Amino acid sequence: MTSRSRMRWAAAAGFSAAVCMALALGGPVPAAAAGKAAQVGQAAGKARTVPVRLIAVNDFHGNLEPPTGSGGRIVNEAGQTVDAGGAAYLATHIKALADRNSTVVAAGDLIGATPLISAAYHDEPTVELLGKLGLSVSSVGNHEFDEGYRELLRISHGGCHPTDGCSPAGKWRGARYDYLGANVRLKKAPALPALAPFSIRKINGVKVGFIGLVTKTTPSIVTAEGIKDLTFADEVESANRTSRALRLLGVRAQVVLVHEGDQVTPNQSPDACPVIVGAGSRIASGVSAEVDMVVMGHSHQAYVCKTKDPAGADRYVSQGSSFGRVLTTLDFKVDTRTKDVVRSTVAVDNHVVTRDVPADPEIERFVRTWKERVSEVANRRVGTITADLTRTPGPSGESPLGDLIADAQLAATKPGGNAEIALMNPGGIRADLTHAPDGVVTYGEVFTVQPFNNLMQVVTLTGARLDALLEQQYQVNRVLQPSASLTYTVSASAPVGSKVSGIKVNGTPVTETQQIRVAANNFLVGGGDGFSVFTEGTDVWSGPLDIDALVSHFTANSPVSPPATDRITVVP
């Protein structure tokens, strides 16, 4: 879309010419307009406030069914670990929290890296569900781009999938909520956003402006092909530009929905603070003082904090965990004279989505319908196994399932990418494969193991950089699962940075200058899990999805037995 057509889009949305110019150029609010905005309602006499409630969710990742394992538990306000999440319970909690003064908002990653019940139909079930739950507006997250920009537009606006056609529900009608991305720009027209930068909602008679942002690191953690026409600008600069446009429209109550966040101390209350300062804190403290609160996502943490805005005033910043386990309420009052939030009235609380409440019957039926629809795909046989394949690590850090996945990834990337070794991140292995009486492995079981739909990639590293990458495992405390073609020794007593020796590829010692083709998923290649050495790789090649690589391995090699976890030798 050209700059001119973007200007027409902005104008069609009801933006004035001055607002279009502010969006395009990032210029200041004209003095006359600012003065007028400040004077609105001043003649109305004594100040009057009205209450507003926002109910926020983030990083839902299509968890229509109650998530299992650690992903389905969370520490509550009393310090107890409880089961949480599931769409039918989420609906019940939202209904209990909502009233006529409220609206539901989100901070991205609602879709992408989803269970099969949603992923099999390109996440249309999740987007439909969120519409049923009353979601009004959300920032995009990086996972909204997993299938590319064009697919995000289809999900937003409707139409059947260009390859797979319509789902069993019929022609897709599009999302009932707005996706926002103020810092997502078209490469051909970088001055204007590729997605709507903001949305204005009238809640309890007052206007609230929502600014959507996604982490600027998105290009390093999604498939490059899908976002080749986009750039991702700095979050703070984009928020401030959009805030000025909102003020020009007379919207003084402003909320940032940003898909970026910080880490917290594990197992703390969902309302606890402080956070471990990171990218989220940079954004929370940097965006314009016009912004009254910041709702976050991305880091899958739960926290409620205060920070100082650039004018020195207190401002709340919050995040609500992931997978629908927490809902955040943001209560505040808006002065009908100034049209601004009265900061002293803001109260933020994280509510655990417990399963000790009745499941919403309508949503329960909805989930059951999609579970039945996906059963044919989920139950498809892909191969057999002779024993349990577990992700439980041994003394070396290897697991049978992890090593098997690495072998599958190497086989899938050899033909086109000339891969010589493969490495798999253990955090991407989400479940064990349990041996059934008949030994059959289904597609649904394999998808549960690897639900992220990561793209397989191959990069070239020198022998010296491969050594640095393997050393990095003991800095980030995550042992990458190696393919059988890679062996090395680790000294348990050696200091971090000098633990790895004897690296061999296919039995041959590696030299420092040797060029080695290394396969991994796009999450790792982008530096995920702290493996920054991967980003130094050259000659990137992209291949199949990781789930397809694993399915192909089972199809070609069944019955599959657990491999020996002897690729990493540990010495004192």
**Residue range 496-540, pLDDT digits in tens:** 999 999 999 999 999 999 999 999 998 898 888 889 999 999 999
Is the separation of the CB atoms in 3 and 189 below 8 Å?
A: yes
* Number of domain units in the chain: 2
**C-alpha pair distances (Å), 138 with each of 111, 179, 231, 452:** 11, 5, 19, 21
Q: Is residue 351 part of a domain?
A: yes
Q: State which of 312, 344, 370 marks the end of a domain.
A: 370
Is the separation of the CB atoms in 457 and 543 below 8 Å?
A: yes
**Residue range 320-379, pLDDT digits in tens:** 999 999 999 999 999 999 999 999 999 999 999 999 999 999 999 999 999 999 998 899
Buried b (16+ CB within 10 A) or exposed e, 430-464: bbbbebeeeeebbbbbbbbbbbbbbbbbbbbbbbe
Amino acid occupying residue 189: A
Quick one: tokens of 246?
């909102």
| 388 and 319 within one domain | no
What's the pLDDT score for residue 380? Answer: 92
| 106 and 183 within one domain | yes
0.85 exceeded by pTM: no
Regarding predicted confidence, which is higher, 6 or 384? 384
Instruction: Give the percent of the chain with pLDDT over 70.
Output: 92
Q: Across the strands, what pairs with 560? A: 385
Quick one: tokens of 233?
């600008």
Q: How far apart are CA 15 and CA 9, in angstroms?
A: 9
Q: Is residue 16 part of a domain?
A: no
Regarding predicted confidence, which is higher, 454 or 462? 462
Q: Is residue 348 part of a domain?
A: yes
Q: Is residue 516 part of a domain?
A: yes
Q: How far apart are CA 61 and CA 75, in angstroms?
A: 20
Q: How far apart are CA 83 and CA 208, in angstroms?
A: 34
**Residue range 397-448, pLDDT digits in tens:** 999 999 999 999 999 999 999 999 999 999 899 889 999 999 999 999 999 8
Q: State which of 338, 370, 402 marks the end of a domain.
A: 370
Average pLDDT over residues 145-169: 96
| 210 and 101 within one domain | yes
Q: How far apart are CA 292 and CA 281, in angstroms?
A: 15
| 248 and 205 within one domain | yes
Q: Is residue 31 part of a domain?
A: no
Regarding predicted confidence, which is higher, 471 or 543? 471
Q: Which residues span the domain enclosing 117?
A: 49-370
| 410 and 438 within one domain | yes
| 346 and 390 within one domain | no
**Residue range 8-56, pLDDT digits in tens:** 344 334 444 445 545 554 544 433 333 333 333 333 446 699 999 999 9
**C-alpha pair distances (Å), 356 with each of 75, 168, 298, 353, 363:** 15, 32, 27, 9, 16
Q: How far apart are CA 274 and CA 232, in angstroms?
A: 28
| 343 and 243 within one domain | yes
Q: Is residue 34 part of a domain?
A: no
**Residue range 65-82, pLDDT digits in tens:** 998 777 899 999 999 999
Instruction: Give the percent of the chain with pLDDT over 90.
Output: 81
Q: Across the strands, what pairs with 334? A: 50, 341
| 344 and 289 within one domain | yes
| 546 and 400 within one domain | yes
Q: How far apart are CA 503 and CA 501, in angstroms?
A: 6
| 303 and 212 within one domain | yes
Q: How confident is the model at residue 146 (pLDDT cuts 50, 70, 90)?
A: confident
- Tell me the CATH number at 547: 3.90.780.10
Is the separation of the CB atoms in 179 and 167 below 8 Å?
A: no
- Tell me the CATH number at 245: 3.60.21.10
Average pLDDT over residues 476-500: 97
| 327 and 227 within one domain | yes
Q: How far apart are CA 50 and CA 340, in angstroms?
A: 11
What would the DSSP string read from start to end of 65-82? SPP-GGGGEEE-TTS-EE
Q: State which of 348, 370, 392 marks the end of a domain.
A: 370
How many CB atoms neighbour CB 563 within 10 A? 19
| 353 and 438 within one domain | no
What's the pLDDT score for residue 22? Answer: 53
